[in-house]
Amino acid sequence: MTFVQRIEPAACGCDAPEASAGTVSIDDALDCICERISGVTGTQRVALANAVGRVLAEPIRARSDMPRFDHSAMDGFALRQGDLVGPGPWRLPVTMRCAAGEAADGALAPGCAARVFTGAPLPGGADCVMMQEEVAHHAGVIVVSRRPTRHENIRFRGEEYAEGSEILAGNVRITPRNIAVAASSGFGDLEVRRKIRVALLVTGSEVARPGAGGLGAARIWDVNTPMLQAALQRPDVEVVVIDVLPDAPGGIEDALAHAARISDLVVTTGGVSVGEEDHLRAALHRAGGKIHFSGVSLKPGKPVTFGALGGAPWLGLPGNPQSAFVTWTLFGEAILRRLAGLNDTGMRKRFVVLSHPVERKPGRCEVRPASLVGHDGMGRDLIDCRGPVRSGQVRVLSASDGLVFLPSDADCLPTGALVEFLPFRSSEGSA
């Protein structure tokens, strides 16, 4: 027997415990982002082959009926069903040949059949097609042993869509499936929203570029820059500046102001906590910016901050790499979707089942890297998320399939408990 722990509320349950401490829930943070960010203005035309991953700026309408003409769905023989009089089998002379790409040469004479191939236009008068495997064909005559139904194996003009009908809605991310629809109506290019300009500023006097040589005794490799740079390598984003800044208030303020002037989104890492060397929030205020929320009831990533400077939203991620990754996944991807003109946050969470008990300290929604390890007796995905969350660790991320959400008010979850799970494949810039 499988024990299932019911979890209330239906979302991650991180709403109440720390509201008095000035933090907001994950859901409230996402609502704040959705309320304050809309799609970038400006569009461009791109070739159909280069449109995957971009966001369609306007609906597209069919330029013709699809199919454009009545045609055969099979290799076989076109005929008039009404010519099959009396009991079968029936013998019909083959008087025409219709191939794909060639217009039918006149109408089919009564009592005759036409050799047709898949995609070939039907000759006038024909109302069904017999598959070639179902007839005997010899010396220009076919023998039909089964009476076909009218319209059998025929694709009719306009049966998929009619000329002028909307075949793709606006403000959708273009996938290879969308490309197929557009191509079917003859579109060689599409009007898409322009790319989102992103500035990435990584703070920390202690970080050094990977591969740059030996480290001093008190320095560490910079994980956040290449990690976020990789996350931003997508068709609808243009990274306009990448800068690594020491923990110097004046330099951070100048860099923020410059980034806000040239970008649609400023992303920073580090400097959003409350230590003496955390300068981001103060620098934003000095530059004339505004903070919408500062701190989310979340582990890891509690210091994550969202605000605006000039016309650009600002997302301040914590400096520890796992915290930066988690908060980027939850909030950075949501911001990009809104800037791209999409109407949701892209959070495609689903329920999975714990493969083991979890004990934890309640108070904040805990987001852990997790691995899919099989299925339970009811066919539901089993998840393994053992081990405490340590915000500076990154190896566990590469070995995981997604993030699991442990409710803020739960201190012990038994094996078989339902928990929310966000697969990485649905959070890494997908549709």
Name the residue among 125, 24, 34 with its Cα closest to residue 83.
125
Q: For residue 110, what are its two tokens?
A: 């009564």
How would you list the strands of the sheet with 312-317, edge to edge? 237-245, 196-203, 265-269, 312-317, 305-309, 290-294
Neighbouring residues of 62: CB distance < 8 A, sequence distance ≥ 6: 161, 162, 163, 164, 165, 166, 167, 185
Neighbours of 374 (CB within 10 A): 10
Residue 388 CA, chain-centre distance (Å), reads 30
Identify the pLDDT of residue 206: 83
The CATH homologous superfamily to which domain 71-155 belongs is: Molybdopterin biosynthesis moea protein, domain 3. (2.170.190.11)
Counts for the chain of helices (H) and strands (E), in that order: 8, 28
Identify the pLDDT of residue 104: 84
∠ CA 40-43-44, rounded to 5°: 145
Rounded Cα–Cα distance for residues 410 and 124 (Å):
72
Identify the pLDDT of residue 276: 57
Q: For residue 220, what are its two tokens?
A: 């560490």
What torsion do the CA atoms of 105, 110, 115, 121 make, to the nearest 10 degrees?
50
The CATH homologous superfamily to which domain 19-43+195-339 belongs is: MoaB/Mog-like domain (3.40.980.10)
Neighbouring residues of 216: CB distance < 8 A, sequence distance ≥ 6: none
Question: Cis bond leading into 414, ω under 30°?
Answer: no
DSSP for 257-320, written as a single string: HHHHHH-SEEEEES--SSSTT--HHHHHHHTT-EEEEE-BSEES-TT-EEEEETTEEEEEE-SS
Identify the pLDDT of residue 274: 63
Identify the pLDDT of residue 278: 63
The CATH homologous superfamily to which domain 350-426 belongs is: MoeA, C-terminal, domain IV (2.40.340.10)
DSSP for 185-227, written as a single string: TT-SEEEEEPPEEEEEEEE-TTEE-TTSS---TT-EE--HHHH
CATH code of 48-63+162-193, in short, is: 3.90.105.10
Q: Which amino acid belongs to residue 215?
A: L
Tell which phi-psi region holds residue 301, choosing left (phi > 0), alpha (psi between -120 and 50) or beta.
left
C-alpha distances out from residue 228 to 128, 295, 327, 328, 370, Å:
58, 20, 11, 8, 20
pLDDT along the chain (431 residues), means of 10: 37 41 90 95 96 96 96 97 93 96 91 96 96 94 96 97 96 95 96 97 86 75 93 97 87 94 96 70 91 95 95 95 96 96 89 95 93 95 86 86 94 95 70 47
DSSP for 11-55, written as a single string: S---SSTTGGGT-B-HHHHHHHHHHH--PPP-EEEEEGGG-TTSB
Rounded Cα–Cα distance for residues 392 and 253 (Å):
26
Domain spans of the chain, in order of start: 19-43+195-339, 48-63+162-193, 71-155, 350-426
